[in-house]
A and B are shown apart, each in its own frame.
Chain A
């Protein structure tokens, strides 16, 4: 298939730190050159480093990576906001780019006037804008504020208006950079819907986002950028998965001791033990695991209620062990000691999870330690090759592994 967007050995470097140059600096540099003084070379930042990519027509494509990996630079070059230092980019068809659009609105003009102006900058004719005006206002959910100057809008309103405009463009290639991160949940949902509509109509989407679930929902393919280079290129779910694994892995290295200070009770450590009581740093999937919570009680505490939960990121746990529910509780805690909580087997996929915990007072009253993340825990294991057919990539879906079997047609 023909490609809608292709990067051919594209590099982009910026001269470092300095915001802008005054004439003085160049004059001084010229003088130094004449006097043959050697100056330290300027710091050069390589935002993109020899990138080659090809996005076929109709593909929904994501660029992911940490801040500073070069995602926005790539979009800016594709939309002709910035130009490459070397290499070339080719684009087929009309491009609609959305790079924090709302921030370019003029504060003195009303929403209506800004729609006219921006609609035209983004490539709609006056008639197109008038025809879609009501849709745009509806989509942005601005209401009667549309006739007020944009400076009186909330920042969210201005950005919503920007996205609403762009969502009603019909470009051949739509470039979107974090533009939807600004709205409330309802607005974000509508944005994702609108973008999937455009993809279904056969338009090409290039999406830059830190919202991995939006990337997985919208995109077939993703490229992971790291320090301006292509680190990984493949199906969106695989690339997102690998990216999250690498992010979690670096987080696990950063914190593992789990200490939480507290007035009456402090948590001194959180350790992981295997079935034989050996301390371990990683947990094999499916095995038993004991979470040892070391505490220091600064005064005798009667019947404290411990809870320990496992989550895959959000505060709401996948599973929780709570003394509030099962009624097991020590009579009095005094001084240093530890409480062990054993999960008999861990039906978790190989990736990184978090251990959360809280301690409440007698009968569940009073927070001794509020519900919070204590430490991270990496679950390892190879889930491939378990059945008769071997999965050929490392992709896993969902955090929990519940044992299951199929019953196929014709089987009892």
Chain B
């Protein structure tokens, strides 16, 4: 027996169980995203590779060559590419997730399914692009002489951190976006700031010693980028303190984002 009442919702076991029951719907939305995204694009999945490569090449020319930003002893192109691959995933996943409810408003007005499926599917669908970009990074690293190493096994850890962070922002802000469309316009701007607030074009070691840990924990993207660079460029394992701290903080963010989503969820179809 299902009881439907008004008022703000909250995270509950029942809500999570229902999300689990709708996992096939989540999968179907992921498939839809990927298909639609590349259906009419001639270069197809190539865009997922071209975007970070071109951006990294631009940074390599301007910052690497002209300004000579230190790159942890690696070729700047490879260094910037490692940063871009991670950042690009976060920004495209979070951006798509934040827009997801408004984009699919026809569905929200007409069919029931747990609404968190929409932002989560955007976050998951962007993983396909990430994997293509990551493969490019690994091939490039190999060409530069960084052979495959056992440390690569730690890459999923960085990916998971990025996914959780994108889900946290995606859930929270997509819900706010339904109520205040201002979000839609503010997000691209904030993401641009985020690019420079994260160690994409510079190294985490450029941050003063005492600030480095709080910075990389509070901005989990920094921890993820650092993780990718350590693994791919330096054949090191990710830093334990940074990674654990970033995970803990990101899980808190996720809890906050999801709570916000649940509180606002019941008004979606009225307000969208």
Contact = CB atoms under 8 A, between A and B. Distances in A.
B197 interface: no
B6 A22 contact: no
B247 to A, nearest CB: 32
A23 B179 CA distance: 8
B174 to A, nearest CB: 14
Nearest to B5: A88
A275 interface: no
Contacts of B267: 83
Contacts of B180: 21-23, 26
Contact of B179 (A21, A81, A103): A21
Contact of A103 (B7, B28, B106, B112): B106
Nearest to B117: A121
Contact of A91 (B2, B110, B269): B2
A191 interface: no
A89 B112 contact: no
B111 A121 contact: yes
Given A109-B36, A126-B24, A81 B112 contact: yes
B181 interface: yes
B111 A120 contact: no
Interface in B29-47: 29, 31-32, 35-36, 39-40
B53 to A, nearest CB: 26
A99 B5 CA distance: 20
B6 A83 contact: yes
Contact of A90 (B1, B6, B266, B270): B1
Contacts of B107: 104, 121
B112 A84 contact: no
Interface of B is mostly: helix
A158 to B, nearest CB: 12
Contact of A20 (B28, B31, B181): B181
B234 interface: no
A363 B107 CA distance: 60
B111 A81 contact: yes
B32 A106 contact: yes
Nearest to A3: B1
A76 B35 CA distance: 30
Nearest to B39: A108
A83 B7 CA distance: 8
A90 B110 contact: no
B109 interface: yes
Contacts of B209: none
Interface in A100-154: 100-101, 103-104, 106, 108-109, 113, 116-117, 120-122, 125-126, 149
Given A22-B180, A80-B112, A121 B4 contact: no
A92 B4 CA distance: 11
A155 interface: no
Query: Interface extent on A, as a size class?
Result: 35 or more
A113 B4 contact: no
B5 A84 contact: yes
Interface in B214-264: none
A101 B106 CA distance: 9
A88 B181 CA distance: 30
B5 A121 contact: no
Contacts of A116: 28
B27 to A, nearest CB: 8
Contacts of B179: 20-21
B32 A76 contact: no
Contacts of B1: 90-92
A144 B7 CA distance: 47
A87 B269 CA distance: 18
Interface in B69-121: 106-113
A264 to B, nearest CB: 52
Nearest to A11: B6
Interface string A12-39: 0010000011111010000000000000
A108 B5 contact: no
A23 B182 contact: yes
A204 to B, nearest CB: 14
A149 B32 CA distance: 13
Interface in B9-33: 24-25, 28-29, 31-32
Contacts of A149: 39
A85 interface: yes
Nearest to A83: B266
Given A21-B179, A104-B111, A117-B32, A84 B106 contact: no
Contacts of B25: 120-121
A95 B269 CA distance: 18
Contacts of B2: 80, 90-92, 95
A117 B111 CA distance: 12
B113 to A, nearest CB: 5
Interface string A48-84: 0000000000000000000000000000111111111
Nearest to B2: A91
A377 interface: no
A86 interface: yes
21 contacts: A14-B270, A21-B179, A23-B180, A24-B182, A81-B109, A81-B112, A82-B269, A83-B4, A88-B5, A92-B1, A95-B2, A97-B111, A99-B109, A99-B110, A104-B106, A104-B111, A108-B35, A113-B35, A121-B25, A122-B111, A125-B24
User: Which 7 residue pairs of A and B lie closest in terms of their CB atoms, listed nearest first?
Assistant: A83-B266, A89-B4, A23-B182, A80-B112, A104-B107, A84-B6, A23-B180
Interface of B: 1-7, 24-25, 28-29, 31-32, 35-36, 39-40, 106-113, 179-182, 266-267, 269-272
Given A23-B180, A113-B32, 9 more contacts: A20-B272, A21-B179, A78-B4, A82-B269, A84-B5, A87-B6, A95-B2, A104-B106, A104-B110
